[in-house]
Chains A and B, each alone.
Chain A
Amino acid sequence: MTNEREGLRVAVFGATSAIAQAALRLWAARGAELFLVARDRERLDRIAADLALRGARRVEAFVADLDDSSVLGRVLEAMDAALGVPDVALVAFGTLGDQTRAARDPEAARRTLTTNFVSPAVLLTALAARFEKAGAGCLAAITSVAGDRGRASNYVYGAAKGGLQTFLEGLRHRFAGTGVRVLDIRPGPVDTPMTAHMPKSGLPWASAERVAADILRAVERGRSVLYTPWFWRWIMLVLRHLPQPLFHRLRL
């Protein structure tokens, strides 16, 4: 799907996230054409300049808050103008939120569910229509291993990510037999600005660069579900199948 002369065309929504930025740098180094969307103008402009210097053939940046569905039309028009239908669309925005709050404050729960499920699903719906027409491309979204089973410590976030996993599974079913690929990216804990304040003991933390390299490989190979780093596939397999009485004894 790469057109060597024009470079891979990639659209990233939530381009200022650490994982998105790391993936964008890898795509830029390969001479890709990039379309970026994020809320924060200051960060977005800096990232766009950086990607251009790191080898991107072209970088277009668009400031928008994708939780506001009224801007969606304008965002996608800008994408159409910049790239047409891209080869890869990566939905990377999300928020960890504060589970203690989200578990008790309905408004906080609504915000976590909106940013991590409703907004990405709405965006993917609009993107899917374009990809369907083109009959090719890769629709990718970052979910989380937290979506694999509800746990006391972050089930609001986990439920939103789990919902998104199901949404992607459905899209994949819909596009089976066409040239459109649907990739569900499930990282474990990643060392990012969002998690910089947390002591890094206990869980195996991955770097955003590692996760990004895994994402590019999964896109190239047309994979469906990516656990990154790889061992999370097996950890989550065990965790998902743990009988409830045993599961309830764990503090997770």
Chain B
Amino acid sequence: MVSAVAYSTGHRAWGRVHRFAHRVVRPTSPHDARRALAAREGAPVLAFGLGRSYGDCCLNPEGLLLETRGLDRLLAFDGESGVVHCEAGASLADLLATVVGRPAPDGGVWFLPVSPGTRFVTIGGAIANDVHGKNHETAGSFGRYLVDFRLLRSDGRILRCAPDENPELFCATIGGLGLTGLVLEARLRLVSVPGLWLELEEVRFEDLEGFFRLAEESKEWTYTVAWVDCLARGRALGRGIFGRARHLRDPRPVPAPAPPRLRVPFDPPFSPLNRFSLQLFNALLFRRLGRGGRRHRVRPYHELLYPLDSIGAWNRLYGARGFYQYQCVVPREGAFRAIARLLDAIAASGQGSFLAVLKTMGDLPSPGWLSFPMPGATLALDFPNRGEATLALFDRLDRIVLDAGGRLYPAKDGRMPAPVFRAGYPRWPRFAELKDPVFSSAFWRRVAEGATEPARARAA
């Protein structure tokens, strides 16, 4: 089939900091995938879906990428139980366009149990990163809703993994960063919601205490999230807007989410997201709610859950050097102090970020051994890539996170040093035993195998 080995540099993660060469194949059936694995010629292998993880956990320099776009079929849907069976390359957008919204027996409609901030992620990617959403307090993470999945190992075996069959591989694969093999297909339990319209309330808070007070008062709301003004310091430190939403019992269908309208077709020569535009942006966002500091609206679900999906390739706004995202979670005990220290360090650095998102995480446990969420608070920020200055700031933030007993999110990461990973994920040695020997990623080689950091070398 493939006469010569051709390397492509076209596969990049969402942050666009790393540029590596890969061999690429796109299997279109389980049989095809097995054949592609057999023909790997010694190269390390990794699945690649829609490229929405930010750093290097979806990249495999000089290795083979198995594109999962060719394995994106929906196979079955049971309208009684809400279980959808699909190939792992199918995306949440595919489910939203088809089975979501169909009537459930209890009078509600079927809906995704957990959504990350974009609908353009594959089911395989959602499993591999055990993604969470704005409803973590009430729903937990994605892995909780998996009935089972089929995993292709490099020795050619296809294993059904479920809580009652190959349970260890089931737990290792959820949040396992694609390193336990190739997930071919999965069965996912949808949840019944009253309707597809959300009642949405936005409330201004003047400082970090205000955030934690609102989080405490919002237990009756399904979704919660806050935007924080990262440039505010002193008494205004941690001010922002708290958003909360819940499904309305409203039978009207929602308008289909528009396909990405605006496109960013090229890299601007310098990032338009500089310090001054950020100050302006944050100030406007903060004042949007007017004197009352509160706004109440009814909107279709996608406007709240996927606010950036209407802009194609928004990641290019950060310019040719790309950007990092830094997302950490800290345990509930001491969360206030840790978040305050993080925000202060970021404000002091002047490297403020376009999107600073703060939310609380709940107690519902994930089956995944390397799952990111823990009960507490998570902070996520984008940083344009300014090389060493940015990486030095991250090192300072790492110390605050580790002091608080927290950890970083591999899905967002392109630079986490090995000790930070190992401290945050104490179950990683057990995971390493179940990892498929042939599967690997730039991320894994850095955090587990002590590879020198390609991120740092190439980012400078």
Query: A residues engaging B (CB < 8 A)?
Result: 16, 18, 29, 40, 42-43, 46-47, 49-50, 53-55, 98, 100, 192-193, 196-201
Task: Determine if B281 is an interface residue (Cβ-Cβ < 8 Å).
Answer: no
Contact among A43, A200, A201 for B29, CB-based, below 8 A: A43
CA gap between A143 and B75 in the complex, in Å: 31
Known contacts A42-B31, A50-B75; is-contact A193 B6 (Cβ 8 Å): no
Closest B residue to A205 using CB positions: B10
User: Is A197 touching B28 in the complex (CB atoms < 8 A)?
Assistant: no
Could you tell me if A46 and B87 are in contact, using CB atoms closer than 8 angstroms?
Answer: yes
Given contacts A196-B26, A199-B9, A200-B8, contact A98 B77 (CB under 8 A): no
- In the bound complex, do residue A50 and residue B3 qualify as a contact, i.e. CB atoms below 8 Å apart? no
Closest 7 CB pairs of A and B: A50-B73, A196-B26, A193-B26, A53-B74, A199-B8, A46-B73, A43-B29
Tell whether A42 pairs with B30 under 8 Å between CB atoms, given A53-B98, A98-B3, A199-B6.
yes
Q: Does B151 contact A (CB under 8 A)?
A: no
In the complex, 25 of the A-B residue pairs with CB atoms within 8 angstroms, ordered by the A residue number, are A18-B70, A40-B29, A42-B29, A42-B30, A47-B73, A49-B73, A49-B74, A49-B76, A50-B73, A50-B74, A53-B74, A53-B77, A53-B99, A54-B98, A193-B26, A196-B24, A196-B25, A197-B8, A197-B23, A197-B24, A197-B25, A199-B7, A199-B8, A199-B10, A201-B10
Contact across chains for B98 and A196 when beta carbons are under 8 A apart: no
Q: Could you tell me which B residues sit within 8 Å of A by CB distance?
A: 2-3, 6-10, 23-31, 67, 70, 73-77, 87, 97-99
Contact of B67 (CB < 8 Å), options: A53, A196, A199: A196
Residues of the A chain whose Cβ atoms lie less than 8 Å from the Cβ of B70: 18, 193, 196
Chain A positions within 8 Å of B31 at CB level: 42
* Residue among B8, B23, B26, B73 with max Cβ neighbours from chain A (10 Å): B73
**A201–B6 CA distance with the chains assembled, in angstroms:** 12
Residues of B with C-beta under 8 A to A49 = 73-76
Q: Kindly state the separation between the CA atoms of A18 and B26 in the bound complex, as whole angstroms.
A: 11
Given A16-B28, A50-B73, A50-B75, 7 more pairs with CB closer than 8 A? A18-B28, A18-B70, A47-B73, A55-B98, A193-B28, A196-B24, A197-B6
Name the residue on A nearest B76 (C-beta): A49
Q: Return the chain A residue nearest B67 by Cβ.
A: A196
Residues of B with C-beta under 8 A to A193: 26-28, 70
B67 partner residues in chain A, CB cutoff 8 A: 196
B344 CB to closest chain A CB (Å) equals 45
